[in-house]
Amino acid sequence: MKLIAIDLDGTLLNSKHQVSLENKSALRQAQRDGIEVVVSTGRAYFDVESIFEPLGMKTWVISANGAVIHDPDGRLYHQETIEKQQAYDILSWLESENYYYEVFTDSAIYTPQNGRELLEIELDRFRSANPEADLSVLKQAAEVQYSQSGFAYIDSYQELFESDRPIDFYNILGFSFFKEKLEAGWNRYEHDEDLTLVSSAEHNFELSARKASKGQALERLAARLNIPLEETAAVGDSLNDKSMLESAGKGVAMGNAREDIKAMADAVTLTNDEHGVAHMIKNLL
Ligand code: CA
């Protein structure tokens, strides 16, 4: 095995959003053995930096669900952006339908000023409609969104199109506690030929350019590094990992992965709270 691509949330990060000592030393061991360790996440690049800098590790980073690739020294290697008019149309729809949204760009993650309020209102509505629902699980889902760094707050998406400096749109995330709102997003964009639609967690859907996916980014990077795909492995837990698990020679699902991801993977490792990545690396080496 010459390259391992690793998802972050639900995979390398435990439920406290941390990299365990076990996982950290397994990554180091892999690097010492000459394996190219690649981080592959829906998070933004600057967010990945803030997680990895304290670890003192340099790796290739695929971010924003495959829209962006940075080399280990932090230089931009490749990007696939959503066309401006298309970004405008998506955002005007999300805003008019009162979605909490996040816009991943080259400079920040833009999110509405009233984002937390929007989610609190949704949570209240959800609670009245589903009195038996476990609110702590829902609150945790929202916390994953808030645990990112690099937010910038906007009153409306329109601000993003008034700026003098053109913005590169990598990824647009819509979030809701309501199944119907998530389905509305899927129905609207599933068959759009210019877009890739995935989901990294139960309560969101994420849009990027057609050629932006974790799988296509892995293929591009393997070609750049002259590593045949058969000698690559990838590990993840969600729908946004499916393309990379398919592209890699060996696709591994986390023990905590969605059932459909486990079913399509070549192997299943332990959960993220059991250092599943370390376990997988030990098995590969
Ligand atoms: Ca994940």
Instruction: Locate the domains of the chain by residue range.
Output: 3-80+212-284, 84-209
Which residue reads 């999110």 in tokens? 111
Mean pLDDT of 111-127: 88
Mean pLDDT, rounded, of the chain:
94
CA distance linking residue 45 with residue 104, whole number of Å: 10
**Annotation says 7 is catalytic:** yes
Please name the fold of domain 84-209.
Answer: 3.30.1240
**pLDDT tens per residue across span 130-159:** 888 888 888 887 777 777 778 899 999 999
Position 229 pLDDT exceeds 90: yes
CA distance linking residue 1 with residue 8, whole number of Å: 20
What distance in angstroms lies between residue 173's CA and the mean position of ligand 1's atoms?
A: 14
Nearest to 181 by CA among 119, 260, 131: 119
What distance in angstroms lies between residue 223's CA and the mean position of ligand 1's atoms?
A: 24
What distance in angstroms lies between residue 14's CA and the mean position of ligand 1's atoms?
A: 11
Q: What is the CATH number of domain 3-80+212-284?
A: 3.40.50.1000
3-80+212-284 with 84-209: one CATH topology?
A: no
Mean pLDDT of 236-253: 97
